[in-house]
Amino acid sequence: MDSSRKSSVLLCMAWYAFWFSGQAQEIVPDATKEKTAFQTSSPWMPEIDVRSDIAIVYGVNGNPTDGQQELTFEERLKSWKDRGYDTHFMTGIAWGSYQDYFLGEWDGKNHLGEGQVEQDGDTIWHGHNVPYIVPSTAFIEYIKKEIIERVIDAGVCSIYLEEPEFWSRAGYSSAFKEEWQKFYDFPWKPQHESPENTFLSNKLKYQLYYNTLKEVSSYAKSYGKSKGMDVKIYIPTHSLVNYSAWQIVSPEASLASLPGIDGYIAQVWTGTSREAVFFDGKEKERVFENAFLEYGSMVSMTAPTKRKLFFLTDPIEDRAKDWADYKRNYQATFVAQLLYPGVADYEVMPWPERIYTKPYRVADSDKKILIPKFYSTQMQVMVNALNNMPVSENRVNGSNEIGVLMGNSLMFQRFPTHDGFEDPRFSNFYGQTLPLLKRGVPVQTVHMENLSFEATLKDIKVLVMSYSNMKPDAPEIHQHIAEWVEKGGVLVYVGKDDDPYQSVMEWWNSDGEKYKAPSEHLFELMGVETSTAKQNFKFGKGSVHLITQNPKDFVMNAKGDTSYIDILKNAYGNDAKAGELTFKNNLYLERGPYDIIAVMDESVSDKPYEVNGPVIDLFDPALPVLEKKSVKPGEQAFLYNINRVLEKARPQVLASASRIHDEQVDKNSFSFVCKSPVNTVNSMRILLPAAPKSIIVKNVEGEMLADVTSDWDESSKTVYVSFDNEPDGVAVKLIW
């Protein structure tokens, strides 16, 4: 510990002992559960001291966009550890600041030729001298020896291997051709020449990163064990929805079969969720709806495996927009993640250094400024609420028992176009999901790779599926579905099965099988005769509905989903006997003391959703107490419901733009220390038994802070307090 910090700590301890002496009762917080995190390539700075549980230090050599690092990895790691953080490590597995490898310093060989290459011969770059890599044996060995060993030697037990990504448009490099020959045992075939070549190419891309993560995770655990350490491996990854939309191939759900993978970070943020989609014949951004489906696909991928899942949001994004745009879309993605009550671990932000220290535009102007203080205050209220966000058994209001099947092969058919068959804006997926979500049905996604887990379909009564944009990787998938239907499930199959990938050489048309499309095998198992005009079939206790349209028609055409919705209402109400399939324009979840609301436009009504108070509006940096909150279509809300406060007789901080430490309650006083980044403003709403007679706010030197504002609200028995933040801590004492 450096001497200046040591003296500050001793001063604080002496001051606390003096101030809180007597009969004060200390409120001891739970031991860290590694619940919240952020990632950074910077050393500790007072401007970015976010006060989450974990600081994930990025890159042995930093982030490719940072340039030269002034400090070593070990020095950066120590700077965060010295500030009381659990320190983890993250690095790219498909790209990174590995110039020593790419430029030949590591083994004397230049490896830039191992980059992912497009048909025209161009390499796909992530930064200067940083290509997206075709993961060769040499690259895997480099990651093991130069990255993994160094990080574990530095004492890190949790490693995040970020974004295993292979672009669909790539696959033309000599490195990839060599991997093709080794994997298939016949010469490379260009993917643009046939659907089968495309399918083979993407399966190889998928397998290359599956093998890479298998080898690296296994090595990390083995090397850690040799040092007496239990090393955990996590995969930060975009959702299957986004990778499919962006035409990227990644192992995704298959990683669940690897014993070396301990969990994931669901990388969902404005940049992924603002991808334009079709609905009701209109193509535009639908950020909340997209984020809801993205987070849902990550839950579907991981929940049956019981592995840890962090949800990520980002208060800004990679593309240069303005602060108003960032704020609006951050609220949308933030609410979307909270509507999954089974997940309560969060990466609260990536790159706080760019959020707090880089200027961005003011709306409707060319002026650039650092983050406005009203936005940093709101953001900090939100991320500090995540430190207390509970897991809940409550469910989002509405019909929760409808699922849409998805699988890794969604990534295999996106590029290039063959035989004129197109799926604009990934509309075959959104055609199955958006008509339900826009009507207030919290539709779930179901990964076919997880069908062997009993929990996967346990709560699903109606399952929608289509092979218009994906294919099953094994006949066992159909056996699981058929067994589920036979026991009472209702299957709605949508599609014409007319895309060119239906006839690629796969299990359903090889080794003695002669099905023209994989669905024929499924239908045969259930006795469904597609040669007749019949559209509804019984199988065991369940039933099957056929819709001979490609689901993209439901969203690419105005009012194109009418018949689809009618069939789902019948399947849900009559066949599944699940009651009426109710439609509304909102999603609402009660989660501990929090009310989480999203009201959708383009829905069944323009009626606002109203919540009766008293509630604290956590999207308002002034933290007002409202008697009623009205949420309009196209908006979201995040509220603290004071009626659901636990231990109402106990003084407590209900909301704060800082993290609260060292809480102590005396007979007529409540005191605590709050920490948050410098150059930001704290905003707090505190529950007390009576109006405070005095409010004492001091810094770590014991000096009274100026510009402290406060306001008592008698109706809610809460006091609002605001002052400038300090990462070393500000001590607050309220006496009544």
Are 680 and 625 found together in one domain?
no
Are 517 and 619 found together in one domain?
no
Query: What's the pLDDT score for residue 533?
Result: 80
Are 91 and 39 found together in one domain?
yes
Query: What's the pLDDT score for residue 327?
Result: 98
Are 543 and 437 found together in one domain?
yes
Q: Which helix (H) or strand (E) holds 610?
A: strand 609-617
Please count the structural domains in the chain: 4
527: left (phi over 0), alpha (psi -120 to 50) or beta: left
Assess contact for 257 and 300: CB atoms under 8 A. no
Are 417 and 512 found together in one domain?
yes
Query: What's the pLDDT score for residue 9?
Result: 33
Are 72 and 8 found together in one domain?
no
Average pLDDT over the chain, rounded to an integer: 94
Q: At residue 276, what is the residue type?
A: A
397 part of a folded domain: no
Positive or negative, the CA dihedral 294, 327, 248, 434 is positive
Are 553 and 659 found together in one domain?
no
Read off the DSSP letter of residue 290.
Answer: H
Are 595 and 539 found together in one domain?
no
Query: What's the pLDDT score for residue 271?
Result: 97
Query: What's the pLDDT score for residue 5?
Result: 34
**SS (HEC) of 318-329:** CCCCEHHHHHHH
391 part of a folded domain: no
520 part of a folded domain: yes
Query: What's the pLDDT score for residue 67?
Result: 67
Distance from C-alpha of 412 to C-alpha of 198, rounded to nearest angstrom = 7
**CATH code for the domain in which residue 692 is found:** 2.60.40
What are the tokens at 645? 């406060």
For every residue of 467-524, DSSP letters joined together read SSS---SSTHHHHHHHHHHHTT-EEEEE----SGGGGSSSGGGSTT---SSHHHHHHH
Interacting residues of 195 by C-beta distance below 8 A, sequence separation 6+: 418, 419, 500, 501, 503, 504
Q: Hunting for tokens 């897991």 — which residue is that?
A: 391
Q: What is the dihedral of CA 217, 222, 226, 228, to 10 degrees?
A: 60
Are 408 and 535 found together in one domain?
yes
Specify the pTM.
0.95
Domain hosting 627: range is 586-644
546: β partners: 493
3-state SS, residue 89:
strand
Q: Which of 575, 604, 622 is the last residue of a domain?
A: 575
Are 537 and 555 found together in one domain?
yes
3-state SS, residue 26:
strand
Are 117 and 25 found together in one domain?
no
Distance from C-alpha of 659 to C-alpha of 673, rounded to nearest angstrom = 8
Are 485 and 425 found together in one domain?
yes
**CATH code for the domain in which residue 480 is found:** 3.40.50
498 part of a folded domain: yes
Query: What's the pLDDT score for residue 310?
Result: 98
Distance from C-alpha of 359 to C-alpha of 504, rounded to nearest angstrom = 51
Assess contact for 634 and 600: CB atoms under 8 A. yes
Kindly provide the b/e burial profile for residues 109-143, where b requires at least 16 CB atoms within 10 angstroms of the residue's own CB: eebbebbbbeeeeebbebeeebbbbbbbeebbbbb
- Tell me whether the omega of the peptide bond preceding residue 359 falls within 30 degrees of 0, making it cis: no
Query: What's the pLDDT score for residue 354?
Result: 96
394 part of a folded domain: no
243 part of a folded domain: yes
Q: Which of 528, 545, 575 is the last residue of a domain?
A: 575
**Residues for the chain: how many in total?**
736
**CATH code for the domain in which residue 200 is found:** 3.20.20.80
Assess contact for 468 and 495: CB atoms under 8 A. yes
Assess contact for 360 and 321: CB atoms under 8 A. yes
Distance from C-alpha of 62 to C-alpha of 72, rounded to nearest angstrom = 9
CA end-to-end span of the chain, whole Å? Answer: 38
392 part of a folded domain: no
Range list of H helices, 339-414: 352-357, 373-386
Q: Which helix (H) or strand (E) holds 406?
A: strand 402-406
Query: What's the pLDDT score for residue 63?
Result: 87
Positive or negative, the CA dihedral 388, 391, 394, 400 is positive
393 part of a folded domain: no
Which segments in the chain show pLDDT lower than 70?
1-32, 67-68
Distances (CA, A) of 120 to 116, 126, 171, 181, 322: 12, 18, 11, 21, 35
